[in-house]
Amino acid sequence: MSIWHAPFTLDEVNRRFSTGLAAHLGIAITAFGDDWIQGTMPVLPRLHQPMGLLHGGASVSLAESLGSVGANLCVDFPRQRCVGQEINANHIRAVTDGIVTGTARAAHLGARSQVWQIEIRNAAAELVCLSRLTIAVLGSR
């Protein structure tokens, strides 16, 4: 059974959510299923930390972007909106180039909060970062 509030297409999602930081980082929503959403981010030198590795903040930005997109697709937008409240991340494996892919799945979908788990993997499908995002569900302004 699908967790999404209403049907959507990848083009619609990318038009609606690929702005600001997500656009600057090159994040694109690439796939979804009944209870997950997936996106990619290129690992470019501008996203490296001083040692030439993907910056942990970039991984966290991908995780929060995917979880936030998923969260907003689960509610009656624009009557409700979802914003990040807390995020944590474990950086497990270094990446220097290529593309990373994040997959976000809801662990909890409540009326006032949601919790999403996001796995980010490299091109070899090895776990790069494991993140958990808590979302606040707000009424519209």
How does pLDDT run across 15-72, given as a tens digit for each residue? 998 789 999 999 999 999 999 999 999 999 999 999 999 999 999 999 999 999 999 9
Using DSSP, state whether 132 is helix, strand or coil: strand
Q: Where do the domains of the chain lie, and which CATH numbers do they carry?
A: 10-139 (3.10.129.10)
Q: Alpha carbon of 84 to those of 5, 15, 88, 96: distances in Å?
A: 19, 20, 11, 27
Q: Say whether pLDDT at 12 is over 80.
A: yes
- pLDDT tens, position by position, 102-130: 999 999 999 999 999 999 999 999 999 99
Predicted structure pTM score: 0.96
From the list 64, 86, 119, 126, the catalytic residue is 64
Residue 64 falls in the annotated catalytic set: yes
Q: What is the pLDDT of residue 17?
A: 86
